[in-house]
Structure formats: structure tokens, C-alpha cells
């Protein structure tokens, strides 16, 4: 554990990770959650020491009583021995009590941490922590654009988190002073973005956004110098986003282990590409967002598995998944897909500007999530990323702006260029959680994936695949109902 601090009352508490330049770091080996895990494990170990000291004190007390009775029977001078035994029993008892108090303080600190986290979640949903709707309304009314100010990422997350409050407020609007809105926000729990999107695609005229099966076609295979560092990998998404339509890349990282040939693999998935129209043949268009957030990439994940196989990946080989924006959600969904994990050994996921707070990966998979304070996209699922040993979230807090004449897109904070620059800061950092995460990436890629930039980078096989969403099923023609001839005069209108 990187360290711990002692409270004024002697309680041992975790150390909040300090900002690393413009980066805020959450989770990993330096995160609060893992520090508490270590402290609680230590407290459990101390319980065993306390039990042993209890037994020791009991044995000392038994010896003291026996010695006292012996002295009474023999009238010998056992006073000094009794005093020494009493001192020993008292000392052992004091050590035991101090160790027990330390364990209790650690557990009390953890209960306080859990309580604070739960209270923050409730007050956020009740609209008592932040007024994101008001803030966003004022900014937009003043001509501001989402994604141009520091804090927009958190405002978006809070806005989505407070949807139950807003709905409740509308329901209670007819009752002056009604607390219905606040109570709804508190009791409804976390906003279910998944359910909202699933309901949306069932509305009339929205069926084209509902996920459909995806086919895979190999486009090209080339040998290229590959920089497998974090910035090098995230930059691989740019040509896919700008030059392809529904294309992903699979990179083969060769290894040589004990004379046998084994490979590691990198899958790169770009961000959302504008559909023509949305919900058309490109599975990474706006309709792909629904597949990613509401259906766990149900149709894209099998396509990625097939692409890996066609590129030459064998069952059980290491895989690293990298994605920007929507692509990061698809990449993270691989970490929770049992069929994918049964075939391949997914070791590491790297996302940039992706809303992945609602995805729970299987244990043992490392992930790094790069976000920007000005980027509202990572907050649009209304859920923060979990703080665990294997999951690190880096928030970039440097102000960025759109270059004059450049398409603002979803805001400058969401630009892949800015995330690549942030990845360079991560790679150069000595912060404990970040060094452990980059080491996990290096371990997943092995010796063949040594991060070297420029023309000196090792040459690797890059295979590009085009993913195509199947066409909408043609609705069956409605059966023409022919009028039935009247059977008698009465049915024909005769009287």
C-alpha cells in the first residue's frame, strides 16, 4: 500500500491520491478502496494476534494464581516473582488492547467511508450536491457550448444521475411545495440508462437504432512499425475513425517463449462515426451507442471474436482492447462478456472519453480510463467508474479549446488528439496507480510489445476489418382483407 495517515485520535486512514500535475487519479493500488482493502486485511490479521495475546494473558494469570497459592502453602518469599508476572500480564493486556483498538478504528473508518459514499449518492440524486441542470441551462443560455468548460464531465454525470429527480418533480408539480420530486430522486436509485435506451428503440420510428447482427470482412493486412505505449495505441484509433466506415484494427504482437511461437493481440475500436443514415450499415454509428450502452455490445462482441480468429489469434492468447468514445464502451464490454473471456485471455482495457461506469469487468482484468474534465461524454451514463485495485480512472484538468476553423464536434475535451497527449502524461508519470497500470499493459503484451516510438518501433502485422450491420428486415406486406359477401337479405340491408 502506498501509505496511510494517522488521524488525531490515532485512527489509521488511507491517503487520498494527490493530483499528478493536471491529472486527477482515482482507483488502482493507490486508490482509497484498495488502501481500505489492505487496511482491513491487516485488521483481520491483527484479530489473530489479539486472540493469541488473550490466550497468553490467560496462561500468565493461571501461573500467577498457582504461584500465589504455592507461596501461601510454603511461606516462601515469592513476592518478586509475583510482581514480575503481574507486570507481564499487565503489559500483554495493554498491547492486546492497543492492537484491538487499532483494528476497531480501521473498521470504523471504513464504515464512515461507506456511509459517506452512500450519502453522497443519495444527495446527488436529490439534487442537493450540485444543480447541473441549472448550471447547464445558464451556460447554454449565455451562448456556451457543452464540452467547452472544465467540469462539464461531472455536470453531465450529475444531470443523468438526477433524471429520477426531474421526473419526480414533474409528477409533483401540481402540488405546491411538494416533496415528491426529491423523494423520487432519493428512492429511485441510480438512473438506468440501459432501460431508457431500450425503451427508446421500441418507440414508433426508432426501430432502426435497435442492434442487429454484424458481419465481418477482412480489408487489408500490412506490416507496420507499432508503438505499443498508451499514447501510441490510442493514436491508432484516429485513422480508423477518419478513414474507415465501421472498421477496426487487430494488431499481432509476436512473442517467442521457450522456442514456441505465441502472440498477444491488440484490438483497436474507433469512436462514433456519423451514420448515413443513423442505424444504417455502419455498426459504430449512432445506433452503435445503443448496442454498447443498452445491449452490452451483443452484436459487436461476436464480430470482434471472429475478427481475432481470422487475424490468427488462438484460444487462450492475451488480448488488449483499446477504444475511444463509443469504441471504449465496446472494448470494456469485452471484459464482462463470458463467451469472449472463455475464448481469449483479455488482460487489459484502455478507454479514452468513454462512459463505462456501469460496466463491471470480471476480476483480474486491468483497465485504465482516460477522461477530461471538459468532456461530457464519459459522464453521460450517470455513473462514476468503480474505485478498485485493477481499475484506474485519470481525469485531465487542463483547459483545452477548439482550434479556429476546426469542427468542434462534441467539444475539444473529447478530441482524440487531446487524449493522446494525456496518455503521454500517464506513460511518463511515477504515480503508484499509473505505474502499476502501465506495467500491467507491458505484461499483457510481453517482451514483443516493448513500447518504442517512431521508426525504431518493432514491425507488427496489422489487419483491418470492416464490420457491417445487417439491413433492417423487410416488413411483411399486410394481408388485404376482402369484404365478405352478405349471406342473406338482412345482412345486405334489406328490410
Q: Specify the pLDDT at position 164.
A: 60
Can you give the pTM of this predicted structure? 0.76
Which residue in the block uniquely carries the three cell numbers 483494528? 103
The whole-chain average pLDDT of the chain stands at: 79
Structure-model confidence comparison of residues 237 and 274, the more confident one = 237
Using CA atoms, how far apart are residues 28 and 15, in angstroms rounded to an integer? 13
Q: Specify the pLDDT at position 303.
A: 97
Smallest Cα–Cα separation from 20: which of 366, 452, 392, 471? 392
Using CA atoms, how far apart are residues 292 and 494, in angstroms rounded to an integer? 64
Residue 274, SS3? coil
Question: Which of 193-207, 372-386, 392-406, 465-479 comes out lowest in average pLDDT?
Answer: 465-479
Smallest Cα–Cα separation from 441: which of 220, 233, 203? 233
Q: Which helix (H) or strand (E) holds 222?
A: strand 214-225
Q: Which grid coordinates belong to 259?
A: 522456442
Cα distances (Å, whole numbers) of residue 491 to 205, 233, 481, 484, 488: 40, 77, 18, 11, 6
Sign of CA dihedral 233, 237, 238, 240: positive
Q: State the average pLDDT over residues 43-52.
A: 75
Q: For the chain, what percent of residues have pLDDT higher than 70?
A: 70
Q: Which grid coordinates belong to 369?
A: 480510463
Residue 175: pLDDT above 50?
A: no
Q: For the chain, what percent of residues have pLDDT higher than 90?
A: 41
Q: Which long-range contacts (CB under 8 A, 24 or more apart) does 386-389 make?
A: 386/27, 386/33, 386/357, 386/360, 387/26, 387/27, 387/31, 387/32, 387/33, 387/34, 388/27, 388/31, 388/33, 388/34, 389/27, 389/28, 389/29, 389/31, 389/33, 389/34, 389/37
In the DSSP assignment, the letter for residue 143 is T
Residue 255 phi, psi dihedral angles, 5° rounding: -130, 160
ω before 277 within 30° of 0 (cis)?
Answer: yes
Q: pLDDT confidence of 395, banded at 50, 70, 90?
A: very high
Residue 125: pLDDT above 70?
A: no
Question: Which of 9-18, 176-185, 437-446, 465-474 comes out lowest in average pLDDT?
Answer: 176-185
Residues in the chain: 495
Using CA atoms, how far apart are residues 268 and 234, in angstroms rounded to an integer? 8
Residue 435: pLDDT above 90?
A: yes
Using CA atoms, how far apart are residues 171 and 184, in angstroms rounded to an integer? 9
Q: pLDDT confidence of 469, banded at 50, 70, 90?
A: very high
Amino acid at each position: 500500500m502506498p501509505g496511510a495517515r494517522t488521524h488525531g485520535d490515532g485512527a489509521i486512514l488511507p491517503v487520498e491520491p494527490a493530483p499528478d500535475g493536471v491529472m486527477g487519479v482515482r482507483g488502482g493500488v493507490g486508490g482509497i478502496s484498495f488502501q481500505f482493502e489492505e487496511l482491513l486485511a491487516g485488521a483481520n490479521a491483527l484479530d489473530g494476534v489479539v486472540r493469541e495475546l488473550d490466550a497468553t494473558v490467560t496462561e500468565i494469570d493461571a501461573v500467577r494464581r498457582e504461584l500465589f497459592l504455592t507461596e501461601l502453602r510454603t511461606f516462601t518469599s515469592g513476592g518478586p516473582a509475583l510482581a514480575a508476572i503481574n507486570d507481564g500480564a499487565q503489559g500483554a493486556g495493554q498491547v492486546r488492547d492497543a492492537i484491538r483498538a487499532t483494528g476497531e478504528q480501521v473498521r470504523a473508518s471504513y464504515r464512515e467511508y461507506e456511509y459517506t459514499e452512500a450519502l453522497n449518492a443519495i444527495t446527488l440524486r436529490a439534487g442537493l450536491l450540485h444543480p447541473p441542470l441549472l448550471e447547464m441551462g445558464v451556460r447554454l443560455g449565455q451562448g456556451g457550448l457543452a464540452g467547452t468548460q472544465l467540469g462539464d464531465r461531472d455536470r453531465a454525470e450529475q444531470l443523468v444521475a438526477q433524471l429520477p429527480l426531474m421526473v419526480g418533480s414533474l409528477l409533483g408539480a401540481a402540488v405546491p411545495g411538494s416533496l415528491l420530486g426529491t423523494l423520487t430522486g432519493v428512492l429511485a436509485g441510480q438512473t438506468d440508462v440501459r432501460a431508457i435506451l431500450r425503451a427508446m428503440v421500441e418507440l414508433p420510428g426508432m426501430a432502426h437504432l435497435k442492434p442487429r447482427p454484424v458481419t465481418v470482412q477482412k480489408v487489408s493486412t500490412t506490416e507496420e512499425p507499432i508503438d505499443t505505449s498508451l499514447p501510441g495505441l490510442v493514436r491508432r484509433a484516429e485513422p480508423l475513425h477518419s478513414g474507415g466506415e465501421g472498421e477496426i484494427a487487430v494488431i499481432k504482437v509476436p512473442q517467442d517463449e521457450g522456442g514456441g511461437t505465441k502472440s498477444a493481440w491488440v484490438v483497436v475500436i474507433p469512436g462514433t462515426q456519423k451514420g448515413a443514415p443513423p442505424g444504417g450499415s455502419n455498426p459504430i454509428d449512432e445506433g452503435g451507442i445503443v448496442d454498447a450502452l443498452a445491449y452490452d455490445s451483443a452484436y459487436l462482441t461476436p464480430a470482434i471474436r471472429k475478427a481475432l480468429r481470422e487475424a490468427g489469434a488462438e484460444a487462450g492468447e492475451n488480448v488488449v482492447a483499446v477504444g475511444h468514445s463509443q469504441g471504449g464502451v465496446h472494448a470494456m464490454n469485452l471484459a464482462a462478456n463470458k463467451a469472449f473471456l472463455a475464448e481469449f485471455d483479455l488482460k487489459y482495457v484502455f478507454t479514452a472519453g468513454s462512459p463505462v461506469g456501469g460496466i463491471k469487468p470480471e476480476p483480474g482484468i486491468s483497465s485504465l480510463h482516460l477522461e477530461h474534465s471538459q468532456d461530457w461524454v464519459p459522464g453521460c451514463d450517470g455513473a462514476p467508474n468503480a474505485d478498485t485495485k485493477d481499475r484506474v480512472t485519470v481525469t485531465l484538468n487542463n483547459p483545452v479549446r477548439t482550434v479556429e476553423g476546426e469542427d468542434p464536434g462534441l467539444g475539444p475535451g473529447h478530441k482524440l488528439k487531446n487524449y493522446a497527449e494525456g496518455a503521454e502524461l500517464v506513460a511518463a508519470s511515477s504515480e503508484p496507480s499509473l505505474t502499476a497500470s502501465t506495467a500491467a499493459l507491458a505484461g499483457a503484451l510481453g517482451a514483443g510489445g516493448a513500447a518504442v516510438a517512431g521508426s525504431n518501433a518493432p514491425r507488427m502485422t496489422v489487419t483491418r476489418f470492416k464490420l457491417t450491420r445487417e439491413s433492417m428486415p423487410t416488413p411483411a406486406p399486410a394481408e388485404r382483407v376482402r369484404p365478405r359477401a352478405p349471406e342473406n337479405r338482412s345482412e345486405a340491408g334489406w328490410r
